[in-house]
Amino acid sequence: MSLLVVVTGATGFVGGPLCKLLAERGHTVKGALRVLTKGFPYPSIAVGSIGPATDWTTALAGCDAIVHLAAHVHEVAPTSESMEIYRDVNVEGTRNLAHRAAQSGVRRFVFLSSVKVHGEATLGRALLETDPLMPVDNYGISKTQAEMSLMQIAVDTGMEVVIIRAPLVYGPGVKANFVSLLRTVDAGVPLPFRSLNNSRSLIYLGNLVHALATCLTHPAAANRTFFVSDGQDVSTPQLIDKIAAALGKKARLFPFPPALLAGVGSLIGRANMMSRLTDSLQVDISSIRSTLGWEPPFTLSQGLADTAYWYRNTR
């Protein structure tokens, strides 16, 4: 079944590969962009900044389905003003788009959310989609509120909504902490993580776009929420070992008391980054596996190899 699919954030880290995959599957892709971007290989329309007053009329004309990726993600320091930006873009902007989509006859709305709706760490077991929502930061709070709005719109209008909660996404074009870790490992910097025995879920970009494309068309995905991951959780030292191998390097890890690492992070002003390296954060993907028959098409090692290849060729 060929669909006309509007993708928000179509030129971004996830959007570009998703558009390519959708086109390969025979769908017609239309990018909803803040401004028109030279070289974007698919039809597109400029909608300006996403918020409660964005006019989606032209973008949604003839649209069968939407994949909503665009979001306000990063902030330097949380403030009440920054929370307003999160609310305008991630909550009210999503609500406005979904309302307009339902009015335009869009049949399915796929929303990229985050594991952060459940908080920043897990203890003892992987998260299930039915676990309590306990967001900690502004981004997680805004994604939680957006999810709740979407499910209510689904009830009120009959438009099918699918929510994908992703853990850390890596792959070619990755930014922020993951690319910093790549640089650190590549430079051979000794790291004090050998004693850690945590467990974290990640998802390779290729696996994420495959899951999004599957949820776009699978009948059983309607009005469901799914976790996705590579299906192979790793500790921080295991991840660093695998990154080093992908880069053709040897990891330089040394033991250090895990209980002291949080204090070290605070001393150097990197408490949040340190907690992401030392805590566990696992998701259980058995629901998407059993409901949709979805399996990640790429292994963690394949994803890291692709990421390392990109990194090596773009330094």
Spell out the SS3 assignment of 201-268. CEEEHHHHHHHHHHHHHCHHHCCEEEECCCCCCECHHHHHHHHHHHCCCCCCECCCCHHHHHHHHHHC
Residue 162 has what DSSP assignment? Answer: E
pLDDT for res 262: 75
User: Could you give the domains of the chain?
Assistant: 4-168+202-229+283-297 (3.40.50.720)
Per-residue pLDDT at 82:
77
Rounded CA gap, 283 and 305, in Å?
23
Instruction: Taking the CA atoms of 128, 132, 137 and 140 in sequence, report the sign of the dihedral they define.
Output: positive
What pLDDT shows up at residue 282?
98
- Are the CB atoms for 4 and 27 separated by under 8 Å? yes
For residues 278 and 262, is the Cβ–Cβ distance under 8 A?
yes
| Residue 215 token pair | 């949820």
CA separation (Å) from 306 to 27, 133, 173, 231?
A: 26, 33, 11, 17
Q: Could you tell me if 117 and 147 are in contact, meaning their C-beta atoms sit under 8 angstroms apart?
A: yes
Residues 175, 234 contacting (CB under 8 angstroms):
no
Dihedral angle over CA of 172, 178, 179, 181, nearest 10? -140
Q: What is the pLDDT of residues 201-211, one digit of tens each?
A: 999 999 999 99
Model confidence, pTM: 0.95
Collect the ranges in the chain with pLDDT lower than 70. Answer: 75-81, 265-271
pLDDT at 178: 94
Output the pLDDT for position 85: 92
User: CA 75 to CA 89: how far, in whole Å?
Assistant: 13
Active site residue 311: no
Tokens 């070289």 correspond to what residue? 39
- At 65-97, the pLDDT tens digits run 999 999 998 754 555 557 899 999 999 999 999
Of residues 139, 170, 204, 311, which has the active-site annotation? 139
Is 13 strand, coil or helix?
A: coil
For tokens 């979407």, the residue is 150
Eight-state DSSP code of residue 67:
E
Name 83's Cβ contacts closer than 8 Å, sequence gap at least 6: 138, 141, 142
Distance, CA of 172 to CA of 313 (rounded, Å): 10
- Residue 50 CA to residue 10 CA, distance in Å, equals 13
What pLDDT is recorded for position 265?
63
Give the pLDDT score at 78.
56
Residue 23, both tokens: 């086109």
